[in-house]
């Protein structure tokens, strides 16, 4: 992936949680109650807005043992439909629960029929996930996530390459926050990675991916009406939270931005890609 370009993804969660943004719930409408219909709606918007890929977020946390087989079977059914009906590159986004993610990916790997982006790989599960994924005939891309620390980022890159991964298969996730919630730490780490890259550090010479959408809609400012009128109308405020987060991280040096709101992706595409994508 060319690090001088900007790639954009549009993400949606398989499971509709209680704290899912009311702005996004209203935007997508009734399709949020059916993952396969939701995927088709997201894919349509992704194509319309010029997204480079759709991220399918398997966000359910690990259930009780008696519920696991049922959930994994449902995940496989949904993802089989997505694979059969996709017209765009796909990302598998796992829950970030290291042990549970191995079980989810093991189930999904039985039906994977193409190259994908797989996210996130962490220090706690990289050996297991890479062993499964690298045994496939497809040359996947892998998002390696470490908690806002350039030394840990470099260490996980080295360990993953030692485990058989090629440097060109790695995407760096510095695990940043959004505007008002620790973005300054993520911004500084991205800058340091870019400086190390320019200085010739091959173990940090990989594209940087950020999840501006997911992080922005965790913020109470993007989903609560309990603010003074001076904060602005919720829909506009929520979109600006995501736009501001994405813009800041692009300015820091991010190469791939994953959005949740299609109109935000359109704004980013129109304002940044004319300069960075050609």
* pLDDT one-digit tens code per residue, 48-92: 999 999 999 999 989 998 899 999 999 999 999 999 999 999 999
More confident site: 223 or 210: 210
Q: What order of strands is seen across the sheet that includes strand 209-210?
A: 170-173, 141-145, 117-121, 89-93, 53-57, 7-13, 256-259, 209-210
Give 171's DSSP letter: E
- pLDDT value, residue 273: 61
Instruction: Give the DSSP H or E segment for 55.
Output: strand 53-57
Q: How many helices and strands, by DSSP H and E, does the chain display?
A: 11, 8
Q: Taking the CA atoms of 10, 100, 216 and 185 in sequence, report the sign of the dihedral they define.
A: negative
User: Tokens at residue 4, please?
Assistant: 């001088």
- pLDDT value, residue 194: 96
Residues 6+ apart with CB under 8 A from 275: none
CA 54 distance to own-chain centroid: 9
pLDDT band, residue 18 (cuts 50/70/90): confident
Per-residue pLDDT, averaged over 256-262, amounts to 98
Give the span between the Cα atoms of 89 and 85, in whole angstroms: 11
Closest CA to 24 of 57, 47, 50: 57
Can you give the residue ranges of every domain in the chain? 7-276
223 in Cβ contact with 26 (< 8 Å): no
- pLDDT value, residue 274: 55
Residue with token string 């993952």: 35
Burial track 153-179 (b if 16+ CB lie within 10 A, e otherwise): bbebbeebeeeebeeebbbbbbbbbbb
Least confident of 34-48, 54-68, 196-210, 264-278: 264-278
Report the percentage of the chain scoring pLDDT > 90. Answer: 82
- Greatest alpha-carbon pair distance for the chain in Å reads 55
**Confidence (pTM):** 0.94
- pLDDT value, residue 2: 44
Architecture of domain 7-276: Alpha-Beta Barrel (3.20)
């Amino acid at each position: 992936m060319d690090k001088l370009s900007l790639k954009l993804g549009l993400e949606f969660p398989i499971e509709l949680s209680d704290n899912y943004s009311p702005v996004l719930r209203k935007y997508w409408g009734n399709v949020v109650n059916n993952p396969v219909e939701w995927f088709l709606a997201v894919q349509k918007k992704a194509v319309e807005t010029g997204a480079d890929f759709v991220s399918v977020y398997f966000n359910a946390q690990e259930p009780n043992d008696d519920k696991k087989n049922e959930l994994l079977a449902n995940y496989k059914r949904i993802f089989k439909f997505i694979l059969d009906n996709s017209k765009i590159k796909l990302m598998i986004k796992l829950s970030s629960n290291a042990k549970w993610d191995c079980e989810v990916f093991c189930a999904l790997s039985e039906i994977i029929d193409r190259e994908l982006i797989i996210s996130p790989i962490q220090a706690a599960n990289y050996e297991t996930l890479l062993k499964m994924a690298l045994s496939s005939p497809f040359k996947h891309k892998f998002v390696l996530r470490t908690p806002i620390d350039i030394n840990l980022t470099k260490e996980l890159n080295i360990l993953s390459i030692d485990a058989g991964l090629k440097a060109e298969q790695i995407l760096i996730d510095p695990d940043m926050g959004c505007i008002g919630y620790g973005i300054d730490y993520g911004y500084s780490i991205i800058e340091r990675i870019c400086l190390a890259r320019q200085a010739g550090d091959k173990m940090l010479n990989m594209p940087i991916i950020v999840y501006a959408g997911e992080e922005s809609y965790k913020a109470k400012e993007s989903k609560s009406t309990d603010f003074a009128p001076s904060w602005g109308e919720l829909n506009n405020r929520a979109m600006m939270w995501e736009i501001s987060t994405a813009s800041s991280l692009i300015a820091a040096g991010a190469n791939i931005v994953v959005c949740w709101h299609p109109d935000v992706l359109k704004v980013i595409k129109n304002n940044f890609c004319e300069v960075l994508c050609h």
